[in-house]
Structure 1
């Protein structure tokens, strides 16, 4: 709602400023009438118009290992926001008062029409009232003083002036803007629109009188004489409304056709500019791409130059055996990517903790060393590293530590992750499957093996453990709807650096629950990445979330 009001207010303000600065001073009143009404209508509609520009962001997609971990979310009925209730109540109260006032004024006009004598006058009716008033118009009724009518004290120009208001149905414009003032009473800009519309009505009527009677000085003097000392009638087109220097000057002003045409055309880029500013949204859309891209073709060819790929069916029969260069694009989607580890040296505090033999087992450039070996180095001697938590059932007598850390010197990093890296000779076996997303892959240098879903050396871990992950989800997940029960399923990738990406809602219950789950996951801190063959790997994580409604809270 706030966005709607803000966008419409911006549009209303821009259009009104353009009218006062460019259009109001020119003698093209019919166009100005249309422009003012169109500006209001477009400003009220423009927040609902949306043009999306999709910005495609390519992603590197590989088939990875899937893990299921259930988590339960209980939804609770949100507490009543009494501040919001108060504001809506205040709006409803003020709107009701203004609506009653608006309706009462219309009823007053109807009452005058029924209770006073009327006279047919061309395509209108003259309503003869006892009050000492100047002629004014409401719909096709012209209200005049009965005594002035009987004594013929009303000049022909005044009748003709009011008849223009009737013929061009100016009252409808005023009723339209008054209705909007009642609904959007908190927006003062509608008051300025009403004044601009009413003044333009007078310009239109004045122009007609000057054209018919061709006596501008007499008509100007008549307006000045009749308008002094009289009040404006609410909801009516009044002769004496804003009889100012603007009206008197406008009667003798001329506007060339070329100037009028250019100023009319100038309104178009204003409307287009507002549409672009308020309606165009840029959406980043992730586009899944093949592992083989223009940037990594040569490096993958080199990395897998000594590797054979064997594709087997579900009966363990060999379908085909190929070199990397012989694989089709679809087959290459099943190939594990070239390993990569970002360059980052450990900080001093973290490096000192690695020296604790009770907590950490240490590898340097892929070789296990004693923790005391780190005393021969400094933290900045290592250009990259990764550490991980070891589950109790995965610890051994040789490595009983809770954590393992692998550090790389510049030479070791280039050997493991440099551009000239070549995978050790061996075979990668891939189980063919119609559903490429479910292919399970594991590579072991020098021999042929086939992997299963849980066959990974070390699973990725949320900081503090899986229970902390459950607490994180439960704390941040806000159910968009009440009294919903069921399960949603979200997939996301845990990258080699521990960040989360490639969020996808596999199963949704609607009501924005899937979007809420993705929002919470994007807030997650980095995980400790999964480890395979001593190297960090990307891991596809499948997260079921069970939604259960709890009792209503007060």
Structure 2
């Protein structure tokens, strides 16, 4: 009999899940002449030099939405600066290296101050992470290594009093934790944060997996460890494989997670927050 088992851990993160949806607009080609009408944004392409192309996207009122740098004229390879705008103000800023996020990425609040700061290496979270209440006060901080939380992470109230402390091992698993109320007394985790959960709980998620998973090969067994972002609307995105016993099992795990119905999003201090979950699925035959 075919079977599977799985476990889930999670962490906060919101960069990359806040892309803006544009209106129905007119499309322009590189020369500036109107192209065939499509349901896309107005955009203009400017060649910066011999190796980079810059695509600027605006809404129907020509309010800036996005500026992207590409390595090719076909605009398929992000390479260089990337910016998104919200209400005409800079919202996200980072860099790509051959379609992979790299270096420091910043999300800005409506006042132009840093709301989140995270580092990437080869499209995975790698390095220090910080989120802020405002320009002077940290909300949450720690480090990632190859996409996984590692070492000590801390959560702070607005007055910078410690709200939580968590310790993660090298495989991204939580090994120790402590949470505190605003009087510095120990409290339960759910008073500070809640983790994403499948609607109906994990028994419903197990049923979804059992119904949807297909063994690519009846004789093939193994384990796939992957991650996914549970956005504030509950949908999964940014599905990545960290380890797998076989490429076909990886492909099946990704396929199934892409079909997942919405989850209940995680929260921090009662507010919905995008969180990264780590999922391990064991493909076994009993």
Instruction: Name which one, 1 or 2, has greater alpha-carbon Rg.
Output: 1
Shorter-normalised TM range: 0.3 to 0.5
The structure whose residues are more often strand, as a share, is: 2
TM-score, reference length from structure 1: 0.26
Higher relative contact order (CA 8 A, sep 6+): 1
Is the helix fraction higher in 1 or 2?
1
